[in-house]
Structure 1
Amino acid sequence: MKTNNQLAERFAEILIRKMEEMKSEKWEKPWFDVSGKINFYPQNYTGRKYTSGNAFLLLLACSWEGYRTPLFLTFNQCRELEIKIIKNEKSFPIYYKNFLVYHRENNKRINIDDYNLLTEEEKKNWRLISYLKNYNVFNLDQTNFASIYEDEFNRLVDKFNATENEFIVDTIFNCPELDRMIEDNSWVCDIILKKQNRAYYSPSNDLIVCPVKNQFPNQHNFYSVLLHEMTHCTGKEERLNRAMGKVFGDNEYAREEVIAELTAAFMGSQLGVFAQPSIESVTYLNGWIKILKQSPDFIFSLLDDVVCASNYMSEKINSRMEILEKVAQ
């Protein structure tokens, strides 16, 4: 079992590697090379999808290693399937929070399930301490699964590598979910498209302004920029209440930019958008590479906010699409 420091260092190593790659590629490649694939979302071999920062980092792993499926197994699952891990393959850590609950006066301990049954007033008498636990997983491609279960593996590859449309980056592109949202003005704040060269979110006006789509030679970038600004608006106090920074370039401002960059990339991968990092974001990536090298444990705070923003956006976009589908029936 890794300590929290070892776990943070491994996660920071994965994110730093991707950030370094994005800088060296001169912004020509997306964060995740899985756009357009159907349901290419990291999950256990049992079909249970990973949550929190685990999903984000395993998707990075799938992207840069070129794994053919997003399926991962534990060592015990490999043993149950009677398959072997390929020599020198390195596992990926999966983390989750566990809790200890102690009474403030007598130190009596109860489990988290019992604590959750208490009233808000009763909970004040108890101390809640969280800590991280982890286990390790391997992608199917890191095992000999393909040779032992050839037919099943081919079926899984077909399942996860099917595309909704031919994926061409430099031609006209449409994202139905976001197009419908813009058309109906159904996002949580107003989105104004105007012919100009700036994209921004105004917290004081709770308003997103973005250039029109035909200003982008690669129209995927229109949606990538839009998702970036949509992320910013999720941080408003009445939504997710993130510290977004007050002065351009301060630490909180830089942190918010990285959150928006990573959230846009993660959401883009789910919507089939080829999300590239902006040139401006490289400045922030440089700063965050330095921070993550000095304080790897910061990765958990960063990823928590990325996942919260992604979940918020997914819920709002998907719930709106479901309402529109019911109306159309």
Structure 2
Amino acid sequence: MKRDLYADVSARIIAELEAGAAPWVKPWSATPGANTPCNAVSNRPYSGCNVVLLWMAQAAGYRTPRFLTFKQALELGGNVRKGERGTKVYFVKQLAIHEKADDECSTRLVPMMREYCVFNVDQCEGLPHSVTTGKPARVRNPDTRDELADQFLRSTRADIREGHGEAYYVPSRDFISMPAFEAFLGADEFYGVAFHELTHWTGHKSRLDRDLKNRFGSRSYAAEELIAELGAAFLCAEFGFDGDLRHAGYIATWIDLLRADKRAFFTACSQASKAADYLRGLALAEPADVAA
């Protein structure tokens, strides 16, 4: 019988959520260096659901979130240690289907999910030092504002109004409300919440155009909250902040969402990656805009 990869991954995430843990929260806090999982050979960061799946693997206490395939380890002159178990990651391959009807040929692309196995560099031996070491950790003060993160927030040109009560995003008026920095426990919490609201902000119809008009308590509402949670987690990892679960109360609705739609987690991860990429794009475009 053919395995259902979507159902497999969904079941793993549901099991974590049922145990009361969101698998994208703080799995990297014991890890010095870069927090976003990347391929140890190409240094390319993983994206979408693979980030969360590799964070779950990271809970084993690996020193750095750098992964590679069995074959890549051999090609580098090293090997995976005997008895080590890998972590399955997934990618979607577009399969070209050629169809002929009424003497007319057409080609359509069908997405096919593929899985492959990767190992953390700590599960290997004989690898070159350059492959096993990540970037050094960024030194920062957890009690004060972070200049790099503030620069990132400014570069988005989002209308962020600080010191105005609760944290929320208003799609109809396209602005983000944030309490004052002093109202938070520290930088980790402040930027985690800011990144959550900023991920909602990317969903505006003038940007990535996600449906933001959902009724509180609906599955669509839960899906958008999941996207914002994941987007915040991806950005927190990148800036070296310890992410935290914004609303623990959503866990039950996420379990319901994932049970109802086995692709929901993949979709949310993909949308969160798109949101983070969109924000990075704005940050990268900023210097040129200023120069002009």
TM-score by length of 1: 0.75
Contact 1:36 1:165 in 2 (8 A): no
What's the offset of the Cα at 1:276?
Answer: 0.8
* Partner residue in 1 for 2:161: 192
- In structure 2, the residue matched to 1:115 is none
Q: CA deviation at 1:41?
A: 3.1
Using the alignment, how far apart are the partners of 2:103 and 2:169 within structure 1?
A: 48
Identity %: 26
Is 2:185 the counterpart of 1:217?
yes
* 2:137 counterpart (163, 166, 174): 163
Structure holding more strand per residue? 2
Q: Map 1:41-60 onto structure 2 (within 5 A).
A: 41-60=36-55
1:101/1:181 Cα in 2 relative to 1: closer, same or farther (>3 Å)? same
User: Aligned residue for 2:122?
Assistant: 141
Match of 1:284 in 2: 250
Tell me, in whole angstroms, the C-alpha distance in 1 between the residues paired with 2:264 and 2:168. 26
Residue 303 of structure 1: how far off its partner (Å) = 1.6
The separation in 2 between residues aligned to 1:97 and 1:229, in whole angstroms, is 32
Partner SS, residue 304 of structure 1: helix
CA-CA distance at 1:61 after TM superposition:
3.1
Three-state SS of the structure 1 residue aligned to 2:156 is: coil
- The answer to whether the 8 A contact 1:228-1:264 is kept is yes
Structure 2: runs of 5 or more not aligned: none
How far residue 253 of structure 1 moved from its aligned partner, in angstroms, is 1.0
Q: Deviations over 1:213-258 (max 9, x none)?
A: 0111223211111111000011111211112242111111111011
- Give the counterpart letter for 1:60 in structure 2: W
- Residue identity in the other structure for 1:234: T
Over 3 Å counting, the alpha-carbon distance change for 1:84 and 1:164 in structure 2 is closer
Once the two structures are superposed, the pairs formed by residues 8-47 of structure 1 within 5 Å of their partners are 8-16=6-14, 18-20=16-18, 23=20, 30-34=25-29, 37-47=32-42
What amino acid maps onto 1:190 in structure 2?
A: D
Structure 2 counterpart of 1:283, one-letter code: G
* TM-aligned CA deviation for residue 305 of structure 1: 0.8
Q: Tell me whether 1:298 sits opposite 2:267 in the alignment.
A: no
When residues 36 and 213 of structure 1 are mapped into structure 2, their CA distance, relative to the original with a 3 A threshold, is farther
Structure-2 residue corresponding to 1:129: 110
Equivalence for 2:60 = 65
Is the counterpart of residue 264 in structure 1 residue 259 in structure 2?
no
Q: Given the alignment, which residue of 68, 83, 89 partners 1:87?
A: 83
Paired residue secondary structure (2:80): coil
Cα pair distance change 1:199/1:107, threshold 3 Å? farther
- Residue 308 (structure 1) aligned to one of 260, 270, 274: 274
Q: Secondary structure at the match of 1:102?
A: strand
Q: Does the CA contact (< 8 Å) of 1:173 and 1:220 recur in 2?
A: no
Mapped partners of 2:103, 2:195: distance in 1: 47
Shift of 1:177: 3.0
Cα distance in 2, alignment partners of residues 87 and 24 from structure 1: 28
Q: Point out where structure 1 has 5 or more consecutive residues left out of the alignment.
A: 110-124
Question: Residue 145 of structure 2 is aligned with which of 174, 183, 193?
Answer: 174
Q: Is the 8 A contact 2:223 2:257 kept in 1?
A: no
Sort the Cα spacing of 1:90 and 1:39 in 2 relative to 1 into closer, same or farther, 3 A.
Answer: closer
Cα root mean square deviation, aligned: 3.2
Question: Counterparts of 1:93 and 1:189 in 2: how far apart (Å)?
Answer: 34
Distance (Å, rounded) in 1 between the aligned partners of 2:93 and 2:271: 15
* Conserved 8 A contact 2:196-2:228: yes
Q: 1:188 to 1:251 in 2, by over 3 A?
A: farther
1:42-99 CA-to-partner distances (Å, cap 9, x unmatched) read 2223224144325422541354122223222223223443523431524322323222
C-alpha displacement at 1:108, in angstroms? 7.3
**1:207: how far off?**
0.6
Structure showing greater radius of gyration is 1
Three-state SS of the structure 2 residue aligned to 1:162 is: coil
Question: Structure 1 residues 48, 272: CA separation in 2 closer, same or farther (over 3 Å shift)?
Answer: closer
Classify 1:34/1:156 alpha carbon distance in 2 versus 1 (closer, same or farther; 3 Å).
farther
Aligned length: 290
| Equivalent residue, structure 1, for 2:96 | 100
1:203 paired residue among 160, 164, 171: 171
Match of 1:120 in 2: none
**C-alpha distance in 1 between matches for 2:123 and 2:208:** 38
Mapped to 2, the partners of 1:66 and 1:108 lie a distance apart of: 57
